[in-house]
Amino acid sequence: MSGDVDQRMERLKMDGDLRDAYVELLSAQCAIDRLRLRYTPQDVAKHGSSFMVARSISAAMVICEYFSSIQKSFQPQAGPPPPSKHEPGKDKRF
């Protein structure tokens, strides 16, 4: 019985960690949207600090790889459908 309680506590902690990560990802998405509205990808690649561009790409790749690996095993439960691919100007959440 103690094992069931431990598993439930771990799941609750994981869900809290996922919520925290989600909020941070939304913040990052807003920052990227601001960049996209101001600069073309070509401008960023050509005129951005090479160090910051490389670090930003690396961070984005790590996030993408991690969530892609989760997606391979993810089986959504009943609830709202996952959001479709983001298209600037077509976000209906707000």
Q: Flag whether 74 is in a domain.
A: no
Measured CA to CA in angstroms, residue 1 lies from 5, 7, 13, 15, 77 at distances of 7, 10, 19, 21, 25
pLDDT at 85: 66
Domain count, the chain: 1
| Residue at 25 is within a domain | yes
Residues 28 and 67: beta-carbon distance below 8 Å: no
Query: Is residue 94 included in any domain, yes or no?
Result: no
* Residue position matching structure tokens 């019985």: 1
What residue numbers bound the domain in which 15 lies? 10-67
- Give residue 76's pLDDT band: very low, low, confident or very high (50, 70, 90): confident
In a domain, 79, yes or no: no
Model confidence at 94: pLDDT above 50: no
Q: Where are the alpha helices (DSSP H) in 39-76?
A: 41-47, 50-73
Query: d(Cα 54, Cα 21) in Å, to the nearest integer?
Result: 22
41 assigned to some structural domain: yes
Confidence of residue 18 (pLDDT cuts 50, 70, 90): very high
Question: Looking at residues 19-36, what average pLDDT do you find?
Answer: 97
Q: Is residue 75 part of a domain?
A: no
The whole-number pLDDT of residue 84 equals 64
pLDDT at 60: 97
51 domain residue, yes or no:
yes
Residue 55 located in a structural domain = yes
Residue in the structure block whose two tokens are 């913040």: 27
